[in-house]
Structure 1
Amino acid sequence: MFPWQQFARDPNKRNQIALRDPQGEVFTWQQVSEQISHYAKLLQSHGVTSHSGVALCGKNDITILFLYLATIHLGARVLPLNPAFPVEKRQQYCIAANSQFYYASDSLSLTGCQRILLDADVTVEQREAEVRSDSKKFLVPATMTLTSGSSGVPKAVVHHVQAHLANAKGVCALMQFNANGSWLFSLPLYHVSGQGIVWRWLLAGAILHFPQTDFYASVGQATHVSLVPTQLQRLLAYWQAHRISKETLKTRHILLGGAQIPTTLTSQLTKWGVQSYSGYGMTEMASTVFAKRSDEKIGVGQPLLGREYRLVEGEIWLKGAGLALGYWQNGGIVPLTNTQGWFATKDKGIWRDNELVILGRIDNMFISGGENIQPEEIEQVIQQWQFVKQVFVLPKADPEFGQRPVAFIEFSQPFSDALVEALTIWLADKLEKFKHPVDYFPLHTQRLQQGAIKISRTTLKLVLQDLLGTHE
């Protein structure tokens, strides 16, 4: 029995508030269960079965949430997609993930995917949802979450329900989240961190709050919140500008992750009576793996309940609670563990002062405002412009976003501001906004190669440091 079914059948729980939508309307657990059943029937009316894949594309709203849970209820696989993706990318990911059905909050349709229509006939009786035993429901492939690998091509990480619940258990224990609490649905469902919020809500039987129009006012209405450092920086500015006092806030716990977490930010929360937690997580582990109460140290604490780790030549290896079934590839699941049974993260870390300190990626990926950015992906797009001969993308430090992308470019004509402006205009609809380089520099190919076959990224990093006047 899924958590929402269990709560709906409990006479002491069914009439308690389960969630509050963006308009402030509340749903009890009984109503949540009924809505999930309704959407499960809707999916079945389109032909969705336990063998199907369903892609959902949109920002967090009540429909996306209920379709997500209804797909899982049927034993099918759900693939949340970023609505910022252009239609070509959506098409590519749906095909790769074998998602035959597709719902989008916008009007874009995909070739070869049946569109889920909300006004379809839903009188069909549920069949597939009732034939699986409880144990099988929790262990079949349920969610497919995109993550970027070293190649820059996102892979779909497959989890079953039990992995999500196992991950949630450790976070709830650390942050004292129980049925008396509420968690703000502050991160998108197409990120594993957003899904983590949903499964903590379901495990605890608490209240899920959707943000209302004023996001940062909504933060103060929930006891627990997940934020990336960029959001925390803006929240603190909001509270200061609006002269918010701790007596007016319900917020007591904030979980931070997605980037290096500045201690200068976390220390400011104490004046509002809020405890922050610094965490480290992976899509492949269903969200948070390490976390601690934030302090003056930059580490991320110790592994949460059920997680295991090893440091092998500086690389972080993980297994235990939350570990994915594998990556979806060619219609099946490819294990992500190595021959020793561990997931090698490609993150570098050290154990210092009885906690894990994250040093960064072994490959080239970097994080900007909580978003993973793979330089090669941006380079591949820029390279398509007719006047670009060669391009390299690197991160530069940014006080608000942690890091932002910058580009070194060799044009087929002399480097100029006019060419950069023309490229920027061309690039506008080719990449998500957060992937657009914020600065462009000329790439002096002959000088940098100096007889080598290709330009070294290490050399370029030194050039960038000279240009910006920063040195590590």
Structure 2
Amino acid sequence: MATRTDERGIRHYDVPLPVDLVDMLRRTVAARGEHPAFVTPAGRATWSEVGTEVDGLAGRLRGVGVGAGDRVAVLAGNGLPFTVAVLATWAAGGIVVPLNHRLTPGDLGVLLADSGAGLLLVGDGMEQVAEAASASVPDRPVRLAVADPSGRFLPDEQAAELPAATPGADAPAAIMYTSGTTGRPKGVVISHGNALQNAVTCTTVIGRRPEDVELVMVPQFNITGLCSQTVPVVLLGATAYLLDGFEAGRALDAVREHACTSTVGAPTMWWRLLERAQERDDDALTGFRLALFGGAPMPTALLQRMREAMPQATLGNGFGMTETCSMITYVGGEDAVRMPHSVGRPLPLTELRLRRPGTDEDAGPGEIGEIVVRGGQVALGYWTADGIAPLTDADGWIATGDAAVLEDGFVVLRDRLKDVIKRGGESVFSFEVENVLHQHSGVLDAAVVGVPDEQYGERVVAHVVAKPGHGLTPDEVRSFCRQHLAHFKVPAVVEIRDELPRNPGGKVVKSALREA
């Protein structure tokens, strides 16, 4: 995949691209007008219909005062109202703030206040939480606009003219809030160019096609759902089925009814899809051409089940973060099966180093180091009251906080640096223990954390979710670990839980487990 470097030496894909995300939609509407764009349980819309709805709402947003750089927050589940709201905010020249509707009103109020959004577009069923959230914003009114029964926002407002020019590649497009697993969420400012660069990864590099039907079963307010699924669908003029709330049976029904060909899911999603398909003797999954995953370690046994259930599909694992507009590395096809412990090679536009923590020195061969990257997908910065604060150094490098090693050019994650467990002078990498736990036939989900220990500094604690019908016990889990791990890595405590706390991107919230 050809790349070029800008004046700072940062790589970008060397392919013809739209000017920005607004130009992207307009090109797609012109080229793919009558092709199905978005499908939901409530119905479907062609690209021409989406274009009309977007221009209509963009005009109404301009009519109520939304101008260049103004923030418009959106609180809605997956669906056409959310999608149109995002695209219309861009067409109006604004910056969209997708909000996690699973948060409490107080937490939402913090994000509204931090972003400075003056308008909150509210989807069906979100009215009460939106009112409570807006009421919690101190000293500043936030206007609420609730969708009408047809899903339209601001239907009675007078429309004003759209901007004469589109925002441009360098303009901020979205403030994407991190999950806050290590503290208060940060507002990551994604540019139009960042999103387009990531979209090329998701199309040209990974291999999505205009004829694909993408099942979007992760939340659209998440960086994966928005930037690695919705935006690539718009760039290609493909079709997306928008599933509001994951449930394996509903997802399988959608795959079968709408002939879905590609999707992204966390490992637990794939396990539930495979289990439900087996229960129903349903072969819907055989229609997938691309079966992608990420957000957590992929157990080898689960990967093998996916390969058996979808022999014709390309399996792929992506790794990234909100600050990189989703993807940094990717592994697909036979490499994904051959290297299940890896998250892949750096993308063509990604420069990646492993750095000795706390220094600017590169780690040696086989040495664990912190992943630092730069590339055209790295976000503009963090949103603050004083403007956009840089998230990279002067040369454009961002430290990810992830420890890894390289094996023949493949990145193998060892841990989040903050999650490395220090026990009696030894380092225990939680990923290593979790990978062993996932190989147990009775384990559905697992997470490992360190908790204070007076004698050894920290002790290893495993939180495990059993597969339905398996009477898993702590002693059984510890005995299994002893067969595969050094003694100091074996969990001192095993907690059997009904589920693990996860953020919308599928990552375990380990701070909650430590507090527990």
- Could you state the TM-score of these two structures normalised by the residue count of structure 2? 0.70
Aligned equivalents of 1:91, 1:464: Cα separation in 2: 32
Instruction: Tell me by how many angstroms 1:157 deviates.
Output: 0.5
Q: 1:61 is matched with which residue?
A: 79
Question: 1:106-255, aligned counterparts within 5 Å?
Answer: 106-107=126-127, 108=129, 109=131, 110-111=134-135, 112-119=141-148, 120-122=154-156, 124-127=158-161, 129-132=162-165, 134=166, 136-148=167-179, 151-195=182-226, 196-211=228-243, 214-220=250-256, 221-245=259-283, 249-255=286-292
The AA in structure 2 aligned to 1:145 is M
Instruction: Determine helix, strand or coil for the equivalent of 2:74.
Output: strand
Question: 1:60-459, aligned counterparts within 5 Å?
Answer: 60-105=78-123, 106-107=126-127, 108=129, 109=131, 110-111=134-135, 112-119=141-148, 120-122=154-156, 124-127=158-161, 129-132=162-165, 134=166, 136-148=167-179, 151-195=182-226, 196-211=228-243, 214-220=250-256, 221-245=259-283, 249-271=286-308, 272-273=310-311, 274-293=313-332, 294-297=336-339, 298-313=341-356, 314-364=369-419, 399-403=443-447, 448-449=453-454, 458-459=457-458
Question: Residue by residue, what CA displacement relative to the aligned partner does 1:78-119 show, whole Å, maximum 9, x if unpaired?
Answer: 111111111111111110111111123312311321112335
Aligned equivalents of 1:173, 1:191: Cα separation in 2: 22
Q: Is the 8 A contact 2:169 2:193 kept in 1?
A: yes
Question: 1:34-49, aligned counterparts within 5 Å?
Answer: 34-49=52-67
Q: Is the 8 A contact 1:41 1:122 kept in 2?
A: no
Q: 1:391 is matched with which residue?
A: none
The AA in structure 1 aligned to 2:444 is E
State the superposition RMSD in angstroms.
2.9
Instruction: Determine helix, strand or coil for the equivalent of 2:116.
Output: coil
Deviates more, 1:267-276 or 1:341-350: 267-276
Aligned equivalents of 1:401, 1:115: Cα separation in 2: 39
Aligned equivalents of 1:235, 1:81: Cα separation in 2: 27
Deviates more, 1:200-209 or 1:218-227: 218-227
Q: Is the 8 A contact 2:28 2:236 kept in 1?
A: no
Aligned equivalents of 1:96, 1:289: Cα separation in 2: 27
Question: Residue by residue, what CA displacement relative to the aligned partner does 1:122-158 show, whole Å, maximum 9, x if unpaired?
Answer: 553433x4223x4x43321111111146741110100
Q: Is the 8 A contact 2:404 2:413 kept in 1?
A: yes
Structure 1 residues 53 and 199, CA gap change in structure 2 (3 angstroms): same
Instruction: Tell me by how many angstroms 1:405 deviates.
Output: 7.9
Instruction: Tell me by how many angstroms 1:349 deviates.
Output: 0.8
Q: 1:379 is matched with which residue?
A: none
Instruction: Tell me by how many angstroms 1:353 deviates.
Output: 2.9
Instruction: Verify: 1:4 aligned to 2:25, yes or no.
Output: yes
5+ residue gaps, structure 2:
1-21, 136-140, 149-153, 357-368, 422-433, 465-473, 482-486, 490-516
5+ residue gaps, structure 1:
367-393, 409-442, 451-455
Aligned equivalents of 1:464, 1:260: Cα separation in 2: 15
Instruction: Tell me by how many angstroms 1:362 deviates.
Output: 0.7
Instruction: Determine helix, strand or coil for the equivalent of 1:239.
Output: helix
Q: Is the 8 A contact 2:448 2:462 kept in 1?
A: no
Percent identity between the aligned chains? 24
Instruction: Determine helix, strand or coil for the equivalent of 1:99.
Output: coil
Q: Is the 8 A contact 2:292 2:316 kept in 1?
A: yes
Aligned equivalents of 2:287, 2:77: Cα separation in 1: 25
Aligned equivalents of 1:204, 1:288: Cα separation in 2: 18
Aligned equivalents of 2:157, 2:122: Cα separation in 1: 22
Aligned equivalents of 2:100, 2:83: Cα separation in 1: 14
Instruction: Determine helix, strand or coil for the equivalent of 1:348.
Output: strand
Structure 1 residues 158 and 460, CA gap change in structure 2 (3 angstroms): same
Instruction: Tell me by how many angstroms 1:324 deviates.
Output: 0.2
Question: Residue by residue, what CA displacement relative to the aligned partner does 1:158-211 show, whole Å, maximum 9, x if unpaired?
Answer: 011111111111121233212111111111122101112011101211111123
Instruction: Determine helix, strand or coil for the equivalent of 1:459.
Output: strand
Structure 1 residues 365 and 6, CA gap change in structure 2 (3 angstroms): farther
Instruction: Determine helix, strand or coil for the equivalent of 1:267.
Output: helix
Structure 1 residues 5 and 363, CA gap change in structure 2 (3 angstroms): same
Aligned equivalents of 1:67, 1:78: Cα separation in 2: 8
- Could you state the TM-score of these two structures normalised by the residue count of structure 1? 0.76
Instruction: Tell me by how many angstroms 1:404 deviates.
Output: 7.5
Structure 1 residues 67 and 216, CA gap change in structure 2 (3 angstroms): same
Aligned equivalents of 2:447, 2:200: Cα separation in 1: 31
